[in-house]
Amino acid sequence: MTDTQSDPTSPTRSVSLLGLGDMGAAFARAWLAAGYSVTVWNRTASRADALVAEGATRAESAAHAVAANTLVVTCLLDDASVGEALESADLTGKDLVDVTTGSPAEARARAAWAQARGARFLSGGIMAVPPMVGQPEAGGYVFYSGSRELFEARREALAVPVGTRYVGADAGHAALQDVALLSAMYGAFAGITHAFALVRGEDEIALKEFAPLLTEWVVSMSGAVGQMAEQLESGDHTSGVVSNLAMQVAGIKTFVGTAHEQGVSPELLTPYFDLMRRRVESGHGTEGGTGLVDLLRSGGGSADR
């Protein structure tokens, strides 16, 4: 170990953390466990008590927390709470890393706001839940975008709670990829919710036995993602298609009919089916699903591109 690595008072082994909710507290514990000097602040001060007992230093205000270290991490509810918390803090010369979930536009505006106050800025999108923090084998990570210099300088500290993925200088891109992955998760959960609704209540189908089949199927179908990316990049939506849209649209009546037979609302599926139908009606029945991406990007109107 170098002196810098072993000295907890070294600027590269010290961090100020604002926000001690479930996620912020998990980040604080990971840094403490790694021997970092951690200064903490939370709007509701009592939420810091346990961490102080574990070795963190309490800051009396957000401004004091910012003053205590060069590396300042915010993990608050939303972007508005970041602005509120940092309102009276002096950010000159600070490395501000904001892992609060927000939109790409909020991240870009926050980057400009921080730079105008003399700070380097990095926006983070956390791809983990609190129990994954401090557990490298759990595979959690944070997307980071914004100042590459900040990221390189603070890489070691940022890699302590979960893994890191730097995705570019545009401060909005961490949030964009975060939201894109979470949106895919919600779409997948919508399908899983519908599948359970279909089979729930059938005496001869044990949900615990159905669950591994569902997992296996969803994982197996996710193999299409790579081919979708290739088709989108080439602009050719028809090469290598094995399940064309016209065939899939012909099957919609079976899916909606089965839902009704089971007394299940098809509401989670019908928006996707409507898109498929519109794409076929505009003459794209030989495509797979990637034409729907262009349909969505055109606002859902004309499918012709």
Phi, psi of 172 (to 5 degrees): -80, -10
286 binds ligand NDP (CB under 6 A): no
**Integer Rg of the chain from CA:** 24
Stretch that binds ligand NDP, among 14-22, 31-39, 161-169, 204-212 (CB under 6 A): 14-22
Among 8, 35, 55, 130, binds ligand NDP (CB under 6 A): 130
Task: Give the Cα separation of 295 and 305 in Å (integer).
Answer: 8
Nearest to 24 by CA among 56, 1, 2, 53: 56
32 binds ligand NDP (CB under 6 A): no
Secondary structure of 125-156 in HEC code, one letter for each residue = EEECCHHHCCCHHHCCEEEEEECHHHHHHHHH
Stretch that binds ligand NDP, among 21-29, 89-97, 210-218, 285-293 (CB under 6 A): 21-29
Q: Between 75 and 160, name the residue whose CB sits nearer to ligand NDP.
A: 75
Stretch 164-223 residues interacting with ligand NDP (CB under 6 A) = none
Q: Between 35 and 130, name the residue whose CB sits nearer to ligand NDP.
A: 130
Q: How far is the CB of 102 from ligand NDP (least distance, A)?
A: 7
Phi, psi of 111 (to 5 degrees): -65, -45
Among 50, 105, 112, 129, binds ligand NDP (CB under 6 A): 129
Stretch that binds ligand NDP, among 40-48, 191-199, 214-222, 284-292 (CB under 6 A): 40-48
38 binds ligand NDP (CB under 6 A): no
58 binds ligand NDP (CB under 6 A): no
Among 84, 152, 202, 216, binds ligand NDP (CB under 6 A): 84
126 binds ligand NDP (CB under 6 A): yes
Among 76, 86, 133, 150, binds ligand NDP (CB under 6 A): 76
According to DSSP, residue 37 is labeled E
CA-to-CA dists, residue 36 to 20, 39, 64, 127, 161, angstroms: 16, 10, 18, 23, 11
Q: Give start and end residues of each alpha helix (H) in the chain.
A: 3-6, 22-33, 49-53, 62-68, 79-85, 104-116, 148-158, 173-199, 207-221, 224-234, 245-250, 252-261, 270-281, 291-297
Task: Give the Cα separation of 237 and 267 in Å (integer).
Answer: 27
The sign of the dihedral angle between the CA atoms of 37, 40, 45, 48 is negative
Q: How far is the CB of 41 from ligand NDP (least distance, A)?
A: 9
Q: Between 81 and 238, name the residue whose CB sits nearer to ligand NDP.
A: 81
Q: Between 81 and 270, name the residue whose CB sits nearer to ligand NDP.
A: 81
Instruction: Name the strand (E) or helix (H) holding 41.
Output: strand 37-41
Q: How far is the CB of 10 from ligand NDP (least distance, A)?
A: 27
Among 14, 15, 16, 19, binds ligand NDP (CB under 6 A): 19
43 binds ligand NDP (CB under 6 A): yes
Q: How far is the CB of 210 from ligand NDP (least distance, A)?
A: 27
Q: Give start and end residues of each alpha helix (H) in 54-200.
A: 62-68, 79-85, 104-116, 148-158, 173-199
Please report, as ranges, the residues that interact with ligand NDP according to CB under 6 A.
19-24, 42-44, 47, 75-77, 81, 84-85, 100-101, 126, 129-130
